[in-house]
Amino acid sequence: MTPAQRTLKAFTAGDHFPGIPLITIKVNGSAPSSALASARLRFQKHGTSTVVELLSSNGKISIQSNANWQLTVPKQAVPGLTAGRWNWNLETTSAAGVVETYLAGNQNVFEDV
């Protein structure tokens, strides 16, 4: 499956990551059949090997409904997101152990002056 593409709201390095409001994942109009078990938001700085991750297992991603595949990423400090262009993807794992990437895109972080 090709992930849906989305550009996240830009912010300034040192400020809080603005978060992502409610995300509801649907495939062919319905939530996947097996409940959402975990999620990982992975950022990779464009042209580098620098990676920053936010995980549901440590509370950086909040699963609102496992059965309905709803989650949010709250506004939060993410010190590793330095100025530059970042690529990101949201990887999910179902209760059945199926790993899928449904969303991906870009994130711009502006230089702090």
3-state secondary structure the chain: CCCEEEECCCEECCCCECCEEEEECCECCECCCCCEEEEEEEEEECCCCCEEEEECCCCCCEEEECCCCEEEECCECCCCCCCEEEEEEEEEEECCCCEEEEEEEEEEEECCC
Please state the pTM of the whole predicted model.
0.93
What is the pLDDT tens value at each position of the chain, 113 positions in all?
Answer: 799 999 999 999 999 999 999 999 999 999 999 999 999 999 999 999 999 999 999 999 999 999 999 999 999 999 999 999 999 999 999 999 999 999 999 999 999 98
Q: Are strands 70-73 and 20-24 parallel, antiparallel or unpaired?
A: antiparallel
Amino acid at 75: K
Architecture of domain 4-79+87-110: Sandwich (2.60)
Q: Where are the domains of the chain?
A: 4-79+87-110
Torsion angle, alpha carbons of 10, 69, 32, 6, to 10: -10
CA 69 from centroid of its chain's CA atoms? 14
* Dihedral sign for Cα atoms in the order 61, 90, 40, 29: positive
